[in-house]
């Protein structure tokens, strides 16, 4: 018996010091033992529960279940929960509940069954599990809603996670790629590089691309490729390395970069073209003017005068080329008015029918609710004519040319792809042909001046560049779509007209060159142009004082101011004093001085930068003696 007592004492010590609750229950559900851990778990003292039915430790929904179990056990001996652990809910003295793991064992005491319950509190574990689950849910939400692709790759290159952004980027569903090698998302040329990297990593643990981003190429399900930025991170899972890839689609950025480079290139070429046109206009002024003067001297020799007329005609053709260059560089003088584009397009149809070959069918489509555009109608007609002639060349065996005019809206999303475009309403004129089309490398250069795919002598290469410059200078937008064998579509977006528009300046009528009197101060840095201007003015009856730049002109004004009636100055000159600055300072020295400015650039386009220039008369180069004499006569009469 002493040994039995010692054994009972040891068992009691184990039960009383156990971290988990130990409860002894009789065959009818009465509590026979309740250890200190149970007291802490349930909030009852041992004396409060001994003899009570165990249901006191259960929430009410479980009472009937417990009664049914005991009844079935006592009737049939079936042991449904004996020897296993299961998750149940306990009820504390204060009525609160908590999760617990209950393991039930059975023993026989004095011929009757008793049950031993081992109770483990799951509150902390469930709290931790809940935190883990919440963190996982937050992480999953971040991954699933991320704009960039997130992919998890195993140590052997197998795909373990593929978020919705990846599905959109690559065109695969998650189920199609999970378990597949990541090479399925790469073009074939990159497969060997990937295998080499993984082999080297497993051999040396050298993380060559870990923690950095690099530009690579992705392959979609349909076989197309796209540029992407790939950042790779490394983690460990079950003792094995795993790789997390963050994928950012670079398609839009690349498109924007290409458009920016193209815009910068076009701007640079435009500035160069404008400069060439300016210098060329100086030369044309000398050529046309001197040929005209020579023709006057040769009135008695019509055979020789014919050569002068030929030079003048050639010079006029050169002047037309410079106008096209200035159109591309957006420095031509426009006369925008409110245009009913529907009537203009229908009028162009008549002109084109007489101009194009008979095997070209012309169709027009006009929106009945078409808004009015604000642009230069002559330049718009010229643009449509240029596009139609190009379309004819693209249809050597005949075809259909379609010209349509509709309302259109360019929204901010379109501006994201074309940063130079202002969102808003436009009148859209489309010129479409079903001709040969053009490949991408040609399409990207069609608006560059002097670029042409035609044979030598078949075109100047300035037609489309003129269209480009006119539309851009009109605050519009131009886009071209073309594929080989599918034809070409050119879209001209013109701004919608406001309530008012400036009137077109009336054309000057032909009249006899007037004679002049008085003294003109000629300021011109180009010696050839200066010589022509002096000769023309003297032949018109003017006295002339000459200066090569603004500083010299101010000196001449100071010394000859009383006798000088008119200042005739180039605008763009070396020496730090421009023509309009000279005009302002000259009028301060002599308030009644008349001003006439000239330049190879159309000065009307400079008015936005120098608004006060509008109070001075303007003569564009190249000019003829008749133009110069008439303008000086107008200035003298108006003054």
pLDDT, tens digit (0-9, with 9 covering 90-100), for 454-506: 544 444 444 577 788 778 878 888 888 888 888 888 889 999 987 444 434 33
Q: Is the pTM of this model over 0.85?
A: no
Task: Give the pair of three-digit tokens for residue 637.
Answer: 């009469």
Could you count the other beta carbons within 10 Å of the beta carbon of residue 86? Answer: 11
- Greater confidence, 520 or 284? 520
Cis before 622? omega within 30: yes
Looking at residue 40, its pLDDT comes to 92
Between CA 459 and CA 393 the distance in angstroms is 11
Locate the domains of the chain by residue range.
Answer: 12-121, 128-249, 255-313, 337-495, 519-638
pLDDT band at 386 (very low <50, low <70, confident <90, very high): confident
List, for residues 23-47, the tens digit of each pLDDT value.
998 878 889 999 999 999 999 999 9
Looking at residue 458, its pLDDT comes to 45
Do the beta carbons of residue 178 and residue 159 sit within 8 Å?
A: yes
Looking at residue 456, its pLDDT comes to 40
CATH code, residues 128-249: 3.30.450.20
pLDDT band at 452 (very low <50, low <70, confident <90, very high): low
Contact partners, residue 261, CB within 8 Å, separation at least 6: none
Q: What is the mean pLDDT of residues 267-282?
A: 62
Task: Give the pair of three-digit tokens for residue 542.
Answer: 């003017």
If you average pLDDT over every residue of the chain, what do you get? Answer: 79
Least confident of 47-56, 65-74, 405-414: 65-74
Could you count the other beta carbons within 10 Å of the beta carbon of residue 605? Answer: 17
Looking at residue 502, its pLDDT comes to 41
- Greater confidence, 79 or 589? 589
| Assigned CATH topology for domain 519-638 | Rossmann fold (3.40.50)
Q: What is the mean pLDDT of residues 270-290?
A: 67
Q: What is the mean pLDDT of residues 225-232?
A: 88
Looking at residue 329, its pLDDT comes to 45
Please report, for residues 105, 107, 114, 244, the alpha-carbon distance to residue 111 in angstroms, rounded to integers and kept in the order given.
Answer: 16, 10, 10, 64
Between CA 118 and CA 126 the distance in angstroms is 18
Looking at residue 614, its pLDDT comes to 54
Architecture (CATH level 2) of domain 337-495: 2-Layer Sandwich (3.30)
Between CA 102 and CA 203 the distance in angstroms is 49
Do the beta carbons of residue 356 and residue 478 sit within 8 Å?
A: no
Q: What is the mean pLDDT of residues 500-518?
A: 50
Architecture (CATH level 2) of domain 12-121: 2-Layer Sandwich (3.30)
User: Would you say the CATH fold of 519-638 matches that of 12-121?
Assistant: no
Do the beta carbons of residue 516 and residue 629 sit within 8 Å?
A: yes
- Greater confidence, 341 or 145? 341
Looking at residue 175, its pLDDT comes to 92
List, for residues 300-354, the tens digit of each pLDDT value.
787 777 777 777 777 776 666 565 555 544 445 556 788 899 889 988 888 788 8
């Amino acid at each position: 018996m002493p040994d039995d007592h010692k054994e009972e004492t040891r068992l009691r010590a184990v039960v009383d010091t156990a971290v988990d609750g130990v409860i002894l229950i009789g065959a009818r559900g009465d509590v026979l033992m309740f250890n200190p851990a149970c007291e802490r778990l349930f909030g009852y003292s041992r004396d409060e529960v001994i003899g009570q039915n165990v249901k006191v430790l259960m929430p009410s929904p479980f009472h009937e279940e417990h009664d049914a179990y005991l009844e079935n056990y006592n009737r049939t001996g079936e042991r449904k929960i004996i020897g296993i652990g299961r998750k149940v809910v306990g009820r504390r003295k204060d009525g609160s509940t908590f999760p617990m793991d209950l393991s039930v064992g059975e023993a026989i005491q004095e011929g009757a069954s008793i049950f031993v319950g081992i109770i483990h509190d799951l509150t902390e574990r469930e709290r931790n599990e809940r935190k883990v689950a919440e963190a996982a849910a937050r992480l999953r939400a971040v991954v699933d809603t991320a704009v960039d692709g997130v992919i998890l790759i195993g140590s052997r290159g197998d795909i373990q996670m593929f978020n919705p952004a990846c599905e959109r980027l690559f065109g695969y569903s998650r189920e199609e790629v999970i378990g597949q090698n990541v090479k399925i998302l790469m073009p074939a040329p990159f497969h060997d590089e990937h295998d080499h990297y993984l082999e080297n990593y497993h051999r040396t643990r050298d993380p060559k691309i870990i923690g950095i981003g690099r530009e690579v190429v992705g392959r979609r399900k349909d076989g197309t490729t796209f540029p992407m930025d790939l950042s790779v991170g490394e983690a460990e899972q079950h003792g094995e390395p795993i790789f997390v890839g963050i994928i950012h689609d670079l398609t839009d950025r690349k498109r924007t970069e290409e458009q920016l480079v193209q815009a910068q290139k076009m701007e640079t070429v435009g500035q160069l073209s404008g400069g060439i046109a300016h210098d060329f206009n100086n030369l044309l002024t000398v050529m046309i003017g001197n040929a005209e003067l020579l023709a006057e001297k040769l009135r008695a020799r019509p055979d020789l005068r014919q050569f002068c007329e030929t030079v003048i005609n050639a010079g006029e053709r050169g002047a037309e080329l410079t106008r096209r260059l200035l159109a591309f560089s957006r420095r031509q003088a426009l006369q925008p008015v409110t245009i009913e584009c529907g009537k203009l397009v229908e009028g162009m149809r008549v002109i084109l029918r007489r101009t194009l070959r008979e095997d070209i069918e012309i169709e027009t489509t006009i929106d009945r609710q078409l808004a009015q555009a604000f642009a230069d109608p002559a330049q718009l007609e010229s643009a449509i004519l240029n596009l139609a002639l190009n379309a004819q060349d693209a249809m050597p065996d005949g075809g259909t040319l379609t010209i349509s005019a509709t309302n259109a809206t360019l929204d901010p999303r379109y501006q994201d792809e074309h940063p130079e475009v202002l969102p808003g309403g436009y009148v859209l004129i489309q010129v479409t042909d079903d001709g040969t089309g053009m490949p991408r490398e040609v399409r990207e250069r069609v608006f560059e001046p002097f670029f042409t795919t035609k044979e030598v002598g078949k075109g100047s290469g300035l037609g489309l560049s003129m269209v480009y410059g006119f539309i851009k200078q009109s605050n519009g937008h131009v886009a071209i779509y073309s594929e080989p064998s599918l034809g070409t579509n050119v879209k001209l977006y013109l701004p919608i007209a406001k309530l008012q528009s400036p009137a077109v300046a009336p054309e000057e009528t032909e009249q006899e060159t007037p004679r002049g009197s008085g003294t003109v101060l000629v300021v011109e840095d180009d010696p050839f142009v200066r010589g022509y201007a002096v000769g023309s003015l003297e032949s018109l009856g003017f006295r002339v004082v000459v200066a090569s730049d603004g500083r010299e002109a101010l000196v001449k004004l100071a010394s000859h101011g009383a006798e000088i009636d008119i200042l005739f100055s180039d605008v763009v000159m070396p020496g730090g004093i421009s023509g309009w600055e000279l005009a302002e300072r000259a009028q301060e020295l002599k308030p009644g001085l008349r001003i006439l400015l000239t330049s190879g650039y159309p000065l009307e386009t400079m008015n936005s930068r120098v608004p006060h220039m509008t109070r001075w008369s303007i003569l564009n180069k190249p000019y003829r003696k008749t133009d110069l004499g008439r303008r000086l006569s107008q200035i003298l009469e108006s003054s």
